[in-house]
């Protein structure tokens, strides 16, 4: 089984990936953490020193290395599905699950950790909400291609386990 968790930053991809790992005993990876480890710097520093284009190219290359694994759970970065036809690649190589949270919920979660999120680090709390609404609108055409979409209260371990076991 290859399970790709997609969605906006703060939607719970890493959290739910770890929960699934505990239940299913399948390897879990966080794509951003893999990139940070390989490049020996946080995503925010990669963005500021090398630029977003460099990051998106590297991210896409790293994503495609997961083709060598038979079974895994991968929490992607929020923008991963939106570049280099990554969404199509993930759909061809596994089960994609969009964790679709509202901008209000995401803003509340992200207020505490803006410093670690390069796309929102400089935003005021009020600007954060507007930014998230715009990003969700931009990314929905990509996220909407997921094999399974879970929204709000439907995002739970039971639903994710069912998706993993039935293939979406």
Task: Tell me the domain boundaries of the chain.
Answer: 2-166
pLDDT digits (tens, 9 = 90+) for 22-55: 999 999 999 999 999 999 999 888 988 999 999 9
pLDDT-derived band at 164 (thresholds 50, 70, 90) equals confident
Query: Contact at 8 Å (CB) between 35 and 41?
Result: no
Q: Which secondary structure element, helix H or strand E, spans residue 72, and what is its range?
A: strand 72-75
What is the CATH class of 2-166? alpha beta
pLDDT at 85 > cutoff 70: yes
Over residues 90-148, the pLDDT tens digits come to 999 999 999 999 999 999 999 888 877 777 888 998 899 999 999 999 999 999 999 99
What phi and psi values does residue 156 have, to the nearest 5 degrees? -150, 165
In this prediction, residue 128 carries a pLDDT of 94
Q: Please check the confidence at residue 63 and state whether its pLDDT lies above 80.
A: yes
| CA angle (105, 72, 67) in 5-degree steps | 115
């Amino acid at each position: 089984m290859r399970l790709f968790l997609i969605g906006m930053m703060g939607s719970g991809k890493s959290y739910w990936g770890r929960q699934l790992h505990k239940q299913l005993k399948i390897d879990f990876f966080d794509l951003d953490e893999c990139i940070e480890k390989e490049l020996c710097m946080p995503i925010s520093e990669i963005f500021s020193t090398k630029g977003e284009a460099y990051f998106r190219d590297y991210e896409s290359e790293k994503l495609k290395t997961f083709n060598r694994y038979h079974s895994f759970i991968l929490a992607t970065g929020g923008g991963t599905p939106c570049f280099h036809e990554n969404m199509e690649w993930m759909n061809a190589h596994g089960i994609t699950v969009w964790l679709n949270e509202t901008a209000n919920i995401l803003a509340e979660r992200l207020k505490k950790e803006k410093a670690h999120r390069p796309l929102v680090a400089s935003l005021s709390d009020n600007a954060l909400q507007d930014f998230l609404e715009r990003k969700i609108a931009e990314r929905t055409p990509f996220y909407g291609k997921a094999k399974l979409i879970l929204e709000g209260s439907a995002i739970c371990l039971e639903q994710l386990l069912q998706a993993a076991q039935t293939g979406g």
